[in-house]
Amino acid sequence: MKYRLLIIVMFLCFNSVLKAQQPNIVWITSEDNSKHYMKLFDEHGIETPNIERLAKNGIVFNNAFSNAAVCSAARSTLITSSYGPRLATHYHRAEGKVTLPNNQTMFPAYLRKAGYYTANNAKEDYNINKPDDVWDDSSKKATWKNRKEGQPFFYVFNIGTTHEGTLHFSEETMNTTKTNTNPNSVFVQPNHPQTDLFKYTNATIETRYKPWTPKLVL
């Protein structure tokens, strides 16, 4: 009997510790970026003061790499915590989406079961059929502020400003539209062609970064 009582006490203590260790989690996703674009990771990158402040007060993973070079495959890996080929989620927008095994769901669902309020603003674009138990809210209006008082939250905020689809431009645009950054002043990675096209592309990327990086407010 005393051993059973000891086990119960240990379980209650462990459960209390778990509740005390439920930090709020904010997940910021920025589309289609190389580490070379941010000064946080590369001396030639663009200054992102608010992100740098978050990093200074948090943890930076210098040896974490994307599972795929395209958005939906990488996002599917992140949301399942599983290597893409294991679940066949590495095909970018295949004709049919993958159904998860019966013993697995997307990881925010586990947080939700642990008492978290889970919100996603707003992009999903997974290569998987999404289970129903993942998000309390997943929409363009989703916010952590809708949680119950005192409830821990997991909040995903997606920034599409740098998505590769927004970087396409015509030759006419390149010849007639000026970027806020001088193309001749940007750093082009040594493994890229040192051409006017690559300089203009990098200047366009930098121009897109600068308006939103100082204003990131959650």
| pLDDT tens string 88-109 | 999 998 889 999 999 999 999 9
Average pLDDT, the chain: 86
pLDDT in the model for residue 11: 41
175 located within any domain: no
Q: What is the pLDDT of residues 140-185, one digit of tens each?
A: 999 999 999 999 999 999 988 888 888 889 999 999 999 999 999 9
217 located within any domain: no
Q: Which two tokens stand for residue 76?
A: 């599917």
pLDDT at 218 over 70: no
* Confidence band for 5, pLDDT divided at 50, 70 and 90: very low
128 located within any domain: yes
Can 71 be counted among the known catalytic residues? yes
72 located within any domain: yes
Overall average pLDDT of the 118-147 stretch: 96
> Largest alpha-carbon pair distance within the chain?
83
Q: Which of 68, 71, 134, 205 is catalytic?
A: 71
12 located within any domain: no
* Confidence band for 212, pLDDT divided at 50, 70 and 90: low
110 located within any domain: yes
Per mean pLDDT, which of 37-46, 54-63, 125-134 is the most reliable? Answer: 125-134
209 located within any domain: no
**Neighbour count for residue 174 (Cβ, 10 Å):** 15
Domain membership of residue 80 as a residue range: 22-169
**Cβ-contact 210, 164 below 8 angstroms:** no
Which residues have CB under 8 Å from 113's CB, separation 6+? 133
pLDDT in the model for residue 198: 95
pTM: 0.81
Q: Indicate the helix (H) or strand (E) that contains 25.
A: strand 25-30
Q: How far is CA 164 from the centre of its chain?
A: 15
Q: Which two tokens stand for residue 187?
A: 């750093």
pLDDT in the model for residue 42: 92
The CATH number for 155's domain is 3.40.720.10
> DSSP assignment, residue 28?
E
134 located within any domain: yes
For the chain, how many structural domains are there in total? Answer: 1
Which residues have CB under 8 Å from 163's CB, separation 6+? 31, 32, 71
pLDDT in the model for residue 121: 96
pLDDT in the model for residue 34: 83
